[in-house]
Amino acid sequence: MEYLDFELPIKELQEQYDKACLIGEESDVDVSNTCKQIEKKLVETKKEIYKNLTPWQRVQLSRHPDRPYTMDYIKAICGDSFLELHGDRGFKDDKAMVGGLGKLGDQSFMFIGQQKGYNTKTRQYRNFGMANPEGYRKALRLMKSAEKFGIPVVTLIDTPGAYPGLEAEERGQGEAIARNILEMTKLEVPIIVVIIGEGASGGALGIGVGDQVLMMENTWYSVISPESCSSILWRSWEFKEQAAEALKLTATDMKKLKLIDHIIKEPLGGAHSDKKGAYIAVAKAIEKAYDELKNLSPTDLVEKRMDKYSKMGEYKS
């Protein structure tokens, strides 16, 4: 388990707790009282820390190395029913964008999302969750296939951005994202979007237009990462905390701005400290969202979706 700077008090208590338990196992000393006390303190400390997180700390949590990734959620939700599908049918199979069919309860869903890696090797293999144009085109292919058979779409977003590479530009990164956004505004099946980690700009929105957009508590979603924002507006990387503050990128801010529909509460201590709890929370949220959407006709669905996005933006007339 890795800990972020502000999580260190939790680490200390966790270590004390583990040590006490070990002593209890290895000797005849009754440690149950001590353990209980430490456990209580641990919960209180977690509550205290997680109650007062700054936007920048949320950004750090969204990137926590132990945080579950797209495939973890999909496998937890669908179990053996998940069938991964590959390729954009034009160029190649983008490993940073995964997708496939799976069941949640009795209902089939098309799951699509960016995938990050767990160690240096897999991180490179997954290109750090930064998709190329073929990734967005693969996502669109899966969505159109879902539309054809009336299967609802769930997208899981976790990306530091679309890949800004030379070949990505040659193959039309902008066009690929633009096409997805346009097609998603008029897709005739329900689309449920869940931000499970990082929601960086066009790279996120390229699979992020939906009837219901849900954000987990410790995630961020904005037009740019706080680091890049800092480097452009402050001309230095040092102002990322201020940038995180200014961008209003947390789930609470995004809900207030009416740019997302719901916040998914994470287990105490964040998704990384109780993965199972996080999987259940996400599965329930998807089921609830689908219940609210499943009886709408395709025409109503698209009309409502377009209306929702047409209302976004604030100006003086």
Partner 1 sequence: MAWFKRTKKGIQTPTDQKKDVPKGLWYKSPTGKIVDAEELERNFYVSPEDGYHVRIGSKEYFEILFDDNKFKELDKNLDSKDSLKFVDTKKYPDRLKDAQEKTGLKDAVRTAVGKSMGNDIVVACMDFSFIGGSMGSVVGEKIARAADYSLKKKLPFIIISKSGGARMMEAALSLMQLAKTSAKLAQLSKAKIPYISLCTDPTTGGTTASFAMLGDINISEPGALIGFAGPRVVRDTTGKELPDGFQTAEFVLEHGFLDFISHRKDLKRNINLYIDLIQNRPLREKELA
Q: Which residues bind partner 1 (CB under 8 A)?
A: 162-166, 168-175, 177-179, 181-182, 184-186, 201-202, 205-206, 209, 221-224, 229, 232-234, 239, 242-243, 246-249, 254, 257, 259, 305-306, 309-310, 312-317
Q: Which is nearer to partner 1, 76 or 181 (CB)?
A: 181
CA distance 73 to 1: 19
Q: For 95-159, what is the HEC assignment?
A: CCEEEEEEEECCEEEEEEEECCCCCHHHHHHCHHHCCCHHHHHHHHHHHHHHHHCCCCEEEEEEE
Q: How far is the CB of 172 from partner 1 (least distance, A)?
A: 5
Q: How far is the CB of 169 from partner 1 (least distance, A)?
A: 5
Q: Which is nearer to partner 1, 210 or 269 (CB)?
A: 210
Q: How far is the CB of 205 from partner 1 (least distance, A)?
A: 6
Q: Residue 196's closest CA among 113, 118, 79, 309? A: 113
Q: Contacts from 292-297 at CB under 8 Å and sequence distance 24+?
A: 292/212, 293/152, 293/190, 293/192, 293/211, 293/212, 294/152, 294/190, 296/190
Q: How far is the CB of 107 from partner 1 (least distance, A)?
A: 26
Q: How far is the CB of 214 from partner 1 (least distance, A)?
A: 15
Q: How far is the CB of 317 from partner 1 (least distance, A)?
A: 6
Task: Taking each helix axis as running N to C, give the angle between helix 133-148 and helix 173-185, from 0 to 180 degrees, rounded to the nearest 10.
Answer: 20
Q: Which is nearer to partner 1, 246 or 296 (CB)?
A: 246
Neighbour-count burial for 38-52, b at 16+ CB within 10 Å, e otherwise: beeebeebbeebbee
Q: Which is nearer to partner 1, 121 or 235 (CB)?
A: 235
Q: How far is the CB of 146 from partner 1 (least distance, A)?
A: 18
Q: Which is nearer to partner 1, 45 or 242 (CB)?
A: 242
CA distance 229 to 223: 9
Q: Which is nearer to partner 1, 6 or 309 (CB)?
A: 309
Q: Which is nearer to partner 1, 126 or 272 (CB)?
A: 126
Residue 191, H or E segment: strand 191-200
